[in-house]
A and B are shown apart, each in its own frame.
Chain A
Amino acid sequence: MKILEIKNITKNFGGIKAVSNVSFDVKKGEILSIIGPNGAGKTTIFNLITGFYIPDDGKIIFKGIDITKIPTYKRINLGIGRTFQNLRLFKSMSIFENVLSASLVKSEYNLLSSITRNKNFYLKKSEAEHKTRKLLEFFSLDKKESYPAISLPYGEQRKLEIARALALDPELLLVDEPAAGMNPSEVIDLIDIFHKIQETFKTTIIIIEHHMDFVMNISKRIIVVDFGEKIMEGTPEEVKNDKRVIEAYLGEEFISA
């Protein structure tokens, strides 16, 4: 079953085609990777899916709903979570609050019950706190929950951002370069975490990544983009052996990764 359908999307920035006529489907439950050299348009695809940009052309269908033009928060509330390439945590807040803020987004109480503090308020509040604790335990961040988010080492900040996205109970999770800046043992750790996420939360995941070992290990299907265009789609084996891919991208980066 398809959870996401990208149909011929195009996005121009002042005459430069950042994404050009890209189409692909995402099946429910899979981990799909998007690879490609820097500036190939990978992050732009995420920004189009989450509504930070609106495509100039094409359609984005999520769970059968056309989301091409609806605002970001509505898409997120339909069940999409994401992380950012350059970490966007809430810097003045604690680790706990970072995840709690996302847990509270779907919490159903209104302004009046915040003021009067009725039963529902406390109920919803403790639900969200419970969920937040669970997630922090899952990522082994619970011991440090009251620390400021920015006090964490880089690798754990990445995990925290994933935890925050998961607090939305997303059916589709978009992860932008999760392994960037991590050392090899952290990367192995991360592969484990993604498998665990998929088992525990049954989330469909799209990963943008440079790290080839990581990609080959984690997804059965890979999409390669270059200069804003999709140049191929296939299994890790197929991608590895494809001439166009080697020319466009792997030639320079395969070995270094």
Chain B
Amino acid sequence: MRLLLEIRKELLFSLAIYLLLKVFFINDIFSEYIEQVILYTIIIVVASLGLNIIYGFTGQFSLGHAGFYGLGAYFSAYLTKTFSIESGLLFIFIILLSGAFSAFIAYLIGIPILKFRDDFLAIATLGLGILIRNILDNSDRFIETLGGSRGFVGINSLSGLEIVFFVSLFFILISKNIIYSKYGLFWRTIRDDETASSSIGINTTNIKLLAFVYGCFLAGSAGAMYAHLYTFLHPSNFDFLKSVDFLVIVIVGGMGSISGTIIAGFLWVFIIEGLRILLPPDILELRWVIIPVILIIIMMWKPYGLMIKKKVI
């Protein structure tokens, strides 16, 4: 009961947004393309929140987040295709399962690589991302359905408004509760000073691993929703640039801010998609010239990241 009381504002606000979207969706006010973009944005927010927990809250820099997003996407698509899953409830289960799959891989890999700090962790996770991409590119050699570099086709379209919206809301609220608990506080102590954290008796190895595993759980779940939104997967959707996407959202939205990630996620996708509509394809390539400049300027302006001060607990 007290839980509901605590999150009543968020719940009411979300319900209002849902109803608004529902009205728009039913009356076909948006084109199908825009509807898809809206759902895609929500999915991107969930995955970015995962990276924010790993990097923004806990300070464990990862350049391979897209890899875990991709693992969840491929895993879920394989399951729904193999077992011809079409029911929404089963799909929700698949989403959670795919998150758990990414989390499990993250757990196995996290134990060794989270020993590294800063730069080395960055290179290790970058390598991990490339390794996953490499495996996806060759996936048809192990399992024909996955399609390898030709792409994974014919995935059921299961990510409708209800599932994407409420599953994502559920993830965001859970994340919020973990962040505003001792675990979230320990994540932040590790970001500030790992040595001092262990000096107050925090098992830093486990707490870092928790952040990494949970963050990758969110990425994997988001990947599952993504797969069943666009119904087609290609390894290039999960490459290094995708990891940079997530990173930009976390940095622009503010390290360690949930609302910041949500806002930045929306801005990001809408600017990118907006540019796609506004700019002719020839100039569209300018996008990746401008984005790095923005990134560099932010770093020069606020080298410690755009941090939003908020009271915790």
- Residues of A at the B interface (CB closer than 8 Å) are 50, 52, 71-73, 76-77, 81-82, 84, 88-94, 97, 100-102, 104-107, 109, 111, 114-117, 121-122, 125, 128-129, 146, 164-165, 167-168
Contacts and interface: CB of A to CB of B under 8 A. Distances in A.
Contacts, number: 100
Contact of A97 (B185, B191, B197): B185
Nearest to B59: A92
Contacts of A168: 200-201
Contact of B182 (A88, A94, A109): A109
Contact of A73 (B181, B183, B202): B202
Contact of A52 (B177, B191, B195): B195
Given A111-B183, A116-B3, A102 B178 contact: no
Interface residues of B, number: 31
B201 A114 contact: no
B199 interface: yes
Contacts of B174: 115
A94 to B, nearest CB: 7
B311 A146 contact: yes
Interface string B254-266: 0000000000000
Query: DSSP majority for the B interface?
Result: helix
Given A88-B193, A89-B193, A114-B181, 16 more contacts: A52-B195, A71-B203, A76-B198, A77-B201, A81-B200, A90-B192, A92-B188, A92-B191, A100-B185, A101-B200, A104-B182, A111-B210, A114-B177, A114-B183, A117-B6, A117-B177
Given A107-B182, A111-B178, A73 B311 contact: no
19 contacts: A71-B198, A77-B201, A84-B196, A88-B199, A89-B196, A90-B192, A91-B192, A91-B193, A93-B192, A94-B311, A104-B186, A105-B182, A105-B202, A107-B182, A109-B181, A109-B182, A114-B182, A116-B177, A121-B181
Contact of A92 (B183, B186, B195, B307): B307
A62 to B, nearest CB: 14
Contact of A100 (B2, B195, B198, B313): B313
